[in-house]
Structure 1
Amino acid sequence: MTTAVRDNLPVDVTSLVGRQGEVSQVKKMLSSSRLATLTGVGGVGKTRLALQVARQLRRAFSDGVWLAPLAEVGKTDLLALTVMEAVGLRSPTQEPAAALMDYLWDKQLLLVLDNCEHLVEGCAELVAQLLPACPQLRILATSREPMGVDGESVFMVPTLPIPDLTATATADSMALFAERAAAAVPGFLVTDSNRQAVASLCRHLDGLPLAIELAAVRMRVLSVEELLARQGDRYALLTRGNRSAQPRHRSLRAAVDWSFELCSDTERLLWARLSAFAGGCDLEAAQHVCAGEGLPADDVLEAIAGLLDKSILMREETAGRVRYRMLETIRQYGRERLLESGEDQVLHRRHRDHYLEKAEQLQVQWFGPGQTELLVRMRAEHANLRAALEFCLSGPAEMRAGLHMAGALWLYWMVSGLQKEGEYWLRRTLASQPEPSSERAIGLWVYAYLLIVGGEKDPALAMIRECEQIARGLDDAAMQAHAAYLSGFAHLLRVEGLDQSVPLLNKGIRLEQALGEPNPHVTVARVILALASCMSGQVQAALTIAEECAAELKAGGEQYCLSWCLTYLGLAEWCQHDGRKATEYLRQAIRCKQPFNDLLGIGCAMEYLAWSTMELGDPERAARLLGVSSMLWEPMGPLGPLLAGFELLQDWHGAVEEQIKEALGEVAYQQAFHSGAVLPVDKGISYALGDETSGQSESPPTECVAFTQRETQVLQMLAEGLSNKCIAARLVIAPRTAECHVSNILAKLGFTTRAQVASWAARQPSASAY
């Protein structure tokens, strides 16, 4: 049985030279400590070491190994949101830290927090909350200073061993230089004739990996001896100018300074200007933001090529699109140069304007073909969107643009599952612009939309009322129409508001239609009206509206709203007791949603599919589908926000669940539900779409499985849901020993999670069956 590796670790583009001993030490540290922090100077290789450790530990963590890169996170407020995104958690109903604790409490997971130094207090606070609440969570952090949290183990990452000039052995620092130099000059080798020079150069650079790599790139134009002479001169100059700096800091600064000086004028200018980007950029963005005085747009590509040759930039290609990024140490150096140039405000404003334009383009281009490509491109710019919004909050002259941008991103917040992050930026930008304006009206409308999805009716309605008031004062017919239909959406949240929902939505649609074409808000409002009609008992009207919308959307090549039309067509057919038609529509909806990775939407369609399956008289399959939907919705909270926030949908869920339990009995229901809940996402979706083998992947092994007496005891406790710590306490053994027994059981059964073991054990007639 093959097991899926769950992680978001980047692919290494170069090999890690040496560090075998350090990798072993850190792995050993993580086996006894739940928080290990790698510290050391910039350029020493903390991130590379952490990633190597994480890769080697992937199979030890059944719930995955997840990297949260923090270098571009400018505010502590965004820390928990960033970690949420890293582990795949999308919770529009909870505050980030609380959502993380709820989600991770039973996860066997390794979280890598990279570049914590500028957020060290916030990281310490978050870690101090997570570790006690999540007993199987382990954290590996990199930072220039420790967090100071109880139980933290600190590993000071050393520089690479430097050679003894009298020895013939090749130290790791020399091996790194040789490998990177061979990449720059194919065929380069350390020989008897150049060994002394390579060894001396590595000693000059204090064994710092980044400094060695920057020097090795210069082998394209210089010999080792010339490198040594020039590097020695540069180091001596720096030492005289800054005697208070530590030698390794001086070595790195010397290497980066020297690389900067060896660049052409246009390359230096581009290096400094590219530092305005967070998370990298593509060629279009580089030309748009960085071209200007001293750097014509036509010269940007050539300058990028030069910086790539010098290893200042790194090239990354995803889905046919190329992006360029810098190591954080290199980017910070560029930011210093940008600040010295006096261009920083101009560049940051130009950067903001570029991404504001991207946000506006998304609104215009979204309702048509090519949606998935649009979303992929915007997700790649997430760090840049954050940086642009943060710049908008840096001074009064920029704040109105910030509110405009946060509102213009409403589709991005929704479709990406970033409702809480959208709320964060809207909360800050609305507070910065309290006076009535069209930007404030839009911001209030978007914030209200996000709150409705999170099930918060009263604050949403309060914002809608203020939005309406501003719209009337400005005689803004469009905002009045938007507010009317959104008010109807908000009233869907509570059963007592259902009677008001359909009239308000119809009013909003009439106002929207009066604005003329094209108007995508008409489509959005009509899709919501289909749901409202269904929930209000006007099922035939729901079918008519959803069918008309679906036909129009298909003709225009739109997929995202279409997926929701199909979902509500399925729900309406279920209300009509036509399980067959409902199943067809809901499977189509899931297929439409898959390219967007819309787990919220897929979970919703999966839930209704379970109801339709029960309507068709298959309670076991219905229970398994409920389990699959619970697995999909787990990162978003119990029942998922589209059920948790809507009272009537909760009632319908409860009624169907009771029907299934009556048909199967409680024990059989729990077994079937659990067999769906432990499926990997792709297999769960395949099962829902009709691949009958997927739902059986967690069946008991067909061969006889032999367990030791101690393993049998541990197996029984796993079936009770006990943690390793509780098992160790009950059996009076070390926690590490309990972990070994659990690992052996997983291996024998061919499973990857404790939940799979518990589900299998629950189906056995007695302990003797083990």
Structure 2
Amino acid sequence: MHEALRLLILRARAVGIDISKSDHPVANQLCQLLDGLPLAIELAASQLDVLSLQSIVEHPDLLDLLVDGVSTETHHRGLRAMLELSQKLLTEDEQRMWALMAVFESETGFDLNAARAVCAGDGIAAADVQPLLSQLVRKSLLMVDHQAGRTRYRMLRVIRQWGHRLLLEAQHDSTARSADEVVGAAAEHFSGLAQQGAGGWFTIGEVEWMHRLRLELPNLHAAQKHFLSLPEQRHRGRELAINVVRTRCQIFDGKLNDARRMLMLGLQHAGPDPEAADVTGTSLLAWVALLQGRNDLAAPLLAKAERDAATLGLSDTLAPLLYASASAIFLCEPDPQRAKTALPALERAEAAFQSAGCAGDAFMATLFSAMAAAFLGERQHALSQRDRLVAVAAEAQGQWSFSWATWTSALVEFMHGSAKRSITLAQDALRLQRQIGDTWGPTWSAWLLAVTTAKVGDHELAGRLFGAINSLQREAQTCVMNMQPFLRVDQEIRQRCRLTIGDDRFNRAISAGEALSVEDGIALALTPLEAMHRARTGESLLTAKEIEVIGHLARGKRYAEIGRDLDIADRTVETHVRNAKRKLDLRSRAELVQWYTNPTPSTSN
């Protein structure tokens, strides 16, 4: 149990309140809101005789409650005294700096560039910002974190809320900017950052961009909230959401629900007459839903985007709509022949992005084109699209892009080439995804390794990987099996596994995989190829039904029992056994059972 939670439970008992195990989630949330500060926890616990845990967590001004709460305990005077003393020990510039830095969210803080942007209109010179921040660090009002190669500063929530008070009090001075103006300056900075990221992430520094924007998500949310609160600035809230989603940082971080939420907030104030930006936002919203396997959400959004685009005369030219529509055909069309229309549609989307000068968006269309060609196209077309994708990713020198080019190469090998090479490439992609901190990619690499592992003959390992994928999907906020091309392959491979090792054994393997942590599931997916059970010699010569019959035979069943289990005639069972012996050049049922239970690995593929 966390020390902060222990302290809260202990102090709650002192006022006659028992925090049960069922209350621990809310209690932990309160401890997080208080940043684990013992004095703040003492104050919160002293309120539990008059307020519930949930009421304290949901209180609109937690600092007000802790400092001016209903209790008359000396703790309350202690916290106020501590904050007032900290304020008195600061110079005027340091006090102003405390107030200004309170506009940034406590969760992940801010960097030097953001601090300079907020100070720029306040008479604080850019050269003075760093020294002032250092003073606040020395006086324990700021904490320093080093994340993603950048120095960041963070205020504890209680200290930030006191800084907010200072900001509000200062606006009574005619020479100081209002709190709204300071918040607006921060919003402008983060809006510019999102715009820069949307247009510039597809470079050698793309992973740095992903991590930087991931850390800024709380501040980006606050910026959007500010824009949406001002009727004349609401279009900026929509624009901000579009740019953030275009950076793919939320996908990288496995926060697709957050991407959808930002877009929905940005679009909620759309007027009766559609604008091009509305169509772009709606198309992006549909596309994110498609990535989550939620065609039920994507379909009506796409229909609206297409109607609005037709009204504006943009149906054939707006790249985000072309891309979302083509992605829907690729991922949602159950008929493989009709799904092939996604191939030229994705090429049109790519060309439209290139014409608009959107290199990162064009790469995403190139990536989907190569994936679609692997699933739906002929071998030569799939190889050609793969080579083009790898060349584009290599030229950009971005690790995230190259990890996906490697993954797609593994998919092409699985569909059209060597299963062994597919495993090697998929594991290379997975290692790179782990190295760069990608939360989204490992789900897809583990899935590809599951189906390819089954193809080389280790059906039990494949089952464990299928189980592990369930945890990975939850972390990535997606569902692989809700996407038609993946579903078709998945169903075929799972059926092959069940026919080969039986339902019970395969189900046990899946359950074992489901019990693994995310990290253990990824480690399992990196099982060396030489450690995998290989396909039996000659297995590719047999039909799925023949393998199924032999599996029952290996479990000691007679022809009549096998016939009843499989709903086929005894004579048909005998025919399957005879054909299998002939194909494998075996003389008896005993040799056939031996071949099944003690396999000699195949050297093919």
Out of 100, 103, 116, the position equivalent to 1:287 is 116
Out of 286, 300, 305, the position equivalent to 1:448 is 286
Find out whether 1:641 has 2:482 as its counterpart: no
Larger relative helix fraction:
2
Deviations 1:673-727 (A, max 9, x none): 334333343343233223489999xxxxxxxxxxxxxxxxxxxxxxxxxxxxxxx
Q: Cα offset for 1:523?
A: 2.0
Q: Normalised by the size of structure 2, how large is the TM-score?
A: 0.73
Match runs of 1:670-685 below 5 Å: 670-685=507-522
Q: Cα offset for 1:426?
A: 1.4
Q: Normalised by the size of structure 1, how large is the TM-score?
A: 0.58
Q: Cα offset for 1:634?
A: 4.0
Question: Which letter does structure 1 place at the counterpart of 2:416?
Answer: Q
**Identity, % of aligned pairs?**
24
Find the aligned partners of 2:351 and 2:486 in 1 and give their Cα distance.
Answer: 27
Residue 303 (structure 1) aligns with: 132
Find out whether 1:626 has 2:466 as its counterpart: yes
Residue 10 (structure 2) aligns with: 22
Q: Cα offset for 1:615?
A: 1.7
Question: Which letter does structure 2 place at the counterpart of 1:502?
Answer: L
Out of 402, 413, 428, the position equivalent to 2:237 is 402
Find the aligned partners of 2:147 and 2:168 in 1 and give their Cα distance.
Answer: 32
Q: Cα offset for 1:389?
A: 1.2
Asked whether the 8 Å contact 2:289–2:297 carries over to 1, the reply is: yes
Out of 56, 72, 85, the position equivalent to 1:117 is 56
Residue 171 (structure 1) aligns with: none
Residue 424 (structure 1) aligns with: 261
Find the aligned partners of 1:506 and 1:298 in 2 and give their Cα distance.
Answer: 49
Deviations 1:163-217 (A, max 9, x none): xxxxxxxxxxxxxxxxxxxxxxxxxxxxxxxxxxxxxxxxxxxxx9xx9xxxxxx
Find the aligned partners of 2:502 and 2:17 in 1 and give their Cα distance.
Answer: 47
Q: Cα offset for 1:47?
A: 3.0
Deviations 1:274-306 (A, max 9, x none): 111112212221111123333222222222222
Asked whether the 8 Å contact 1:442–1:479 carries over to 2, the reply is: no
Find the aligned partners of 1:266 and 1:31 in 2 and give their Cα distance.
Answer: 44
Q: Cα offset for 1:518?
A: 6.3
Q: Cα offset for 1:543?
A: 2.4
Report how many aligned residue pairs link the two structures.
Answer: 505
**Alpha carbons of 1:348 and 1:605: their partners in 2 closer, same or farther (altered >3 Å)?**
same
Consecutive unaligned residues of structure 2, counting only runs of 5 or more, are 43-51, 172-177, 534-605
Residue 203 (structure 2) aligns with: 368
Residue 346 (structure 2) aligns with: 505
Out of 78, 85, 90, the position equivalent to 1:258 is 85
Q: Secondary structure at the match of 1:35?
A: helix
Question: Which letter does structure 2 place at the counterpart of 1:431?
Answer: Q
Asked whether the 8 Å contact 1:117–1:143 carries over to 2, the reply is: no
Find out whether 1:269 has 2:109 as its counterpart: no
**Alpha carbons of 1:23 and 1:618: their partners in 2 closer, same or farther (altered >3 Å)?**
farther
Q: Cα offset for 1:29?
A: 8.7
Find the aligned partners of 1:606 and 1:50 in 2 and give their Cα distance.
Answer: 46
Consecutive unaligned residues of structure 1, counting only runs of 5 or more, are 1-6, 54-112, 122-141, 146-207, 212-237, 697-770
Match runs of 1:112-191 below 5 Å: 117=56, 119=58
Deviations 1:513-554 (A, max 9, x none): 4x1766333321121112222332434312220222112212
Deviations 1:17-38 (A, max 9, x none): x969938969x99895411566
Find the aligned partners of 2:32 and 2:371 in 1 and give their Cα distance.
Answer: 55
**Alpha carbons of 1:678 and 1:398: their partners in 2 closer, same or farther (altered >3 Å)?**
same
Out of 457, 460, 482, the position equivalent to 1:617 is 457
Out of 369, 375, 383, the position equivalent to 1:543 is 383
Find the aligned partners of 1:254 and 1:694 in 2 and give their Cα distance.
Answer: 65
Question: Which letter does structure 2 place at the counterpart of 1:460?
Answer: A
Asked whether the 8 Å contact 2:287–2:324 carries over to 1, the reply is: yes
Residue 356 (structure 1) aligns with: 191
Q: Cα offset for 1:329?
A: 2.1
Find the aligned partners of 2:390 and 2:187 in 1 and give their Cα distance.
Answer: 37
Residue 77 (structure 1) aligns with: none
Find the aligned partners of 1:581 and 1:694 in 2 and give their Cα distance.
Answer: 15
Asked whether the 8 Å contact 2:284–2:320 carries over to 1, the reply is: no
Residue 395 (structure 2) aligns with: 555
**Alpha carbons of 1:116 and 1:595: their partners in 2 closer, same or farther (altered >3 Å)?**
farther
Find the aligned partners of 1:518 and 1:600 in 2 and give their Cα distance.
Answer: 23
Deviations 1:77-107 (A, max 9, x none): xxxxxxxxxxxxxxxxxxxxxxxxxxxxxxx
Out of 212, 216, 221, the position equivalent to 1:377 is 212
Residue 605 (structure 1) aligns with: 445
Q: Cα offset for 1:244?
A: 11
Find the aligned partners of 1:666 and 1:30 in 2 and give their Cα distance.
Answer: 48
Asked whether the 8 Å contact 1:502–1:532 carries over to 2, the reply is: yes
Q: Secondary structure at the match of 1:489?
A: helix
Q: RMSD across aligned C-alpha pairs, in angstroms?
A: 4.1
Out of 155, 158, 165, the position equivalent to 1:326 is 155
